[in-house]
Structure 1
């Protein structure tokens, strides 16, 4: 039995040029009278929202007090590979790692989470030094980058009042309250088991209530689940407007009634509640009928093919300085011309394979550099998914643009900057990405599926950006 419905917790914000984060153990009452051992940053579960300013320098000091080796990755941030927080930037128990870098990103919603890598076989993954294990315990937090563009836009900007962070997660528990990572004896052949559950958390609370005014409200939504894909909408099927994707604002608001959000993707949406004073509506995931097209039958749970509620939104009187209209435009996005790519005639291939479970028929090897890219080049990548399961594909280092899905232009809400793209079963997605900063022939960036159990068993690879006059072969 879950605890009584609570108000939506709003993570505290941390500002400044030097920010300290402590990874520590904690506990949380998710079930009535049952305490769940957890982990968090600067607290027992999840972490504070880091607010960074584009064009400034920041130092992030991360102390590991969780008792096992870990890392902390700045997901979506444009940083040198040595500061990326991937599996090579290990933080041993009791030690502190400092990541210092200039903030080069556009205004957007990013996040941070552990990213260690243990050499794991397929099946059930219960290694406490794996990414999936540590994120499932609660180690994650949001990053908000602000810049002159975000300052000037007529959008809701009062954090926690009309600009609301929403961190979506799903969990499963033992009867005593402990986290249940996998059902007992569950290990489907040739596929890793997934951490999914029927307790749906928003900012660490199950089915909480968000109290807002009768006005335009901005929701910054992060899918921080290990493996769950959400098909988001509202209980009355109202239209809402997506204004930003992973790496920044869209050109103009995109009207939607459903938003498919895979693990690690972010979206900022506006919902107009100006005529809803006194009403309550629900943020819901409309997964009924969706699961069969994204998740193989043997890996489905009840919520892959059912609708479920995430958040109650109770609408009161409008607050001061309320935004009452949806802007017509947002920003300018310059498409990366395909012709800029040095490999347009022969895109770099990435096949997400199931046997072995990896990329291009290979499992992740910490000692192998899979791709070498010349500093200053722009490349087209072709990501092919020949499997029956959807895979969210993430590239470290900086954002990219989606060129095509299955040979067709992407939907309007994917025409901005992305760092995760969901590749559907039996689909090929083409992206274009610039590699114009931060050469280091020894320290790699990662590319991988962001279903964390897939990443942990080897659906990940390593790339280095290096100076040179010759374009790398592949």
Structure 2
């Protein structure tokens, strides 16, 4: 059966054609300005912590400020413990952590620990919003492999604005395998956080959040790394580890180097079985990849975003598919300290962490259309799925429309079993919590629900194109004991209204 473009997609395409002019389809209407790489890369500091009764306690403050993206222009931004982005939190598997987050904004917010396995009440989704002047203190035990995770707001209906204004940061986890690995591991020296984002700045240099109806959301002409436009990083070792995070709200990147390959060592949820040599890797919003790059003394190279493969989309030129640009310059010193080849052994937890398809007892199907999942838009008072604690499931996910979508599941790391019945490409073989969905293709995801049960407090699954998330492309699931039914989440009744909020 021939599928026609749905109204929202058709409207977006029509708007893009008007912007471009009717005489011809352009190369791109979402292109990125060329930058001069003259600004030293800002490295988010490691967040201090204190030990209180065996718990590692971090403190964060969400606040307003100004940031100089362009010389001499103060842009109004938000950040944690500063004007833009936030410090990097770091903890070890087996540690109990707590994070005291104070909201100094003039509106409610939340903080979601993206990629973290933790109780639903600590997850920081839309049910854990807290108001101006309030402090939220989630606490949980770290029980998952070493990984590059991140944190960001997740308030109901306004996530895009909060992230776009600057609220985000990394959360690094360590374990026995990562501690013993021969990987660059000196934070800020040869182990570099790289948060890639794009913005639109208006004529006064302020963040422009105007929704022009385009898909999949705001695609900015200014690309920055860790909040630095035209960033360079001095390299003093033969190899450098880049912890890549797509922190954008809508743009997908195809990151690599035009003059060399790189070693992919980890995906969203942790280390691969072995390093994987790649030219580049596609990262949609929310996805992460740890790569190791080899440098020669005195040379310069640039992290580059090639034209991303968005699959079958309706208007590639209007969705970022034709955009290519440099992201970060690496400048090697004339003498470089030696670095070994990346390598690591199995963790003592690997066997217990392993998830097997043969153990799956439930298969669920999810279809993403223009603005809903399985024909339903987000309802805070509705539980869409109930998973049994300890169970292994296969989630079959498909995007039915020709616009970019992703799929993110809270609480778990999943494995991509297949795409259209075929094994996934090797860069998708590692643990994941977010995956880009090429239109019309079937993705089978394997996951296990462990440890935490709460029939009244849900986790989320949703598209991580944040305009789509805010517009209702999100569902809720709870993890329950066998035979236990879902309750009314967070005091919300069947009509989606909260009784005493």
Name the structure 2 match of 1:231.
Answer: 254
Give 1:304's aligned residue: 321
Contact preservation (8 Å) 2:453, 2:481: yes
Structure-2 residue corresponding to 1:261: 283
Choose from 424, 429, 433 the match for 1:415: 429
**Which of the numbers 305, 308, 315 marks the counterpart of 1:285?**
305
Aligned CA distance change for structure 1 residues 317 and 399 (closer, same or farther; 3 Å) = same
Superposed displacement of residue 306, structure 1: 2.4
Secondary structure of the corresponding residue to residue 13 of structure 1: coil
Structure 2 stretches of 5 or more lacking a match? Answer: 1-32, 50-55, 487-501
Equivalent residues of 1:384, 1:427 under 8 A apart: yes
Distance 2:447 2:473 in 1: 20
Counterparts of 2:99 and 2:342, CA distance in 1: 35
Deviation sequence 1:423-444 (CA, Å, 0-9, x none): 1111110011111210100000
Instruction: State how far apart, in whole Å, the 1-side matches of 2:72 and 2:235 are.
Output: 30
Q: 4+ residue stretches of structure 1 with deviation over 4 A?
A: 1-4, 328-335
TM-score (norm 1): 0.90
Q: Following superposition of structure 1 onto structure 2, how do residues 162-173 of structure 1 map, counting pairs within 5 Å?
A: 162-173=190-201
Q: Distance in 2 between matches of 1:390 and 1:336?
A: 29
- Tell me if structure 2 keeps the 8 A contact 1:252–1:329: no
Alignment equivalent of 1:353, drawn from 365, 369, 375: 369
The Cα of 1:294 is off from its aligned counterpart by 5.6
| Structure 1 residues 194-220: Cα deviation after superposition (integer angstroms, max 9, x where no partner) | 121011110000120110025011111
| 2:393 aligned residue | 379
CA distance in 2, matches of 1:368, 1:100: 26
Give the superposed CA RMSD.
Answer: 2.0
Residue aligned with 2:126, SS: coil
Task: Name the residue aligned to 1:102.
Answer: 141
Q: Distance in 1 between matches of 2:397 and 2:148?
A: 25
Write out per-residue CA displacement over residues 95-149 of structure 1, whole angstroms, 9 at most, x where no aligned residue.
Answer: 000011111121110000000113xxxxxxxxxxx00001000000001101111
Deviations 1:248-271 (A, max 9, x none): 100000110011111101110111
- Check the 8 A contact 2:398/2:443 in 1, yes or no: yes
What residue number does 1:134 align with? 162
CA distance 1:298–1:244, shift in 2 (3 Å):
closer
1:250-301 CA distance string (max 9 Å, x none): 000011001111110111011111xx2111111000017x45x364318815
Alignment of 1:209-224 (within 5 A): 209-224=232-247
Match of 1:444 in 2: 458
Of 404, 414, 417, the residue aligned with 1:403 is 417
Residue 150 of structure 1 aligns to a residue in which SS? helix
TM-score for the superposition, normalised by structure 2: 0.85
What is the rounded CA distance, in whole Å, between the counterparts of 2:417 and 2:183 in structure 1? Answer: 28
Q: Supply the distance in 2 between the matched residues of 1:71 and 1:439 (Cα, whole angstroms).
A: 21
CA distance in 1, matches of 2:101, 2:138: 8
- Residues 329, 67 of structure 1: alpha-carbon distance in 2 compared, 3 angstrom cutoff: same
Number of equivalenced pairs: 444
Q: Partner residue of 1:313?
A: 330
Q: Residues 373-393 of structure 1, C-alpha deviation per residue, up to 9 Å, x if partnerless? A: 111211111001111123221
Partner of 1:127: none
How far 1:327 sits from its partner (Å)? 2.8
Residue 467 of structure 2 corresponds to residue 453 of structure 1 = yes
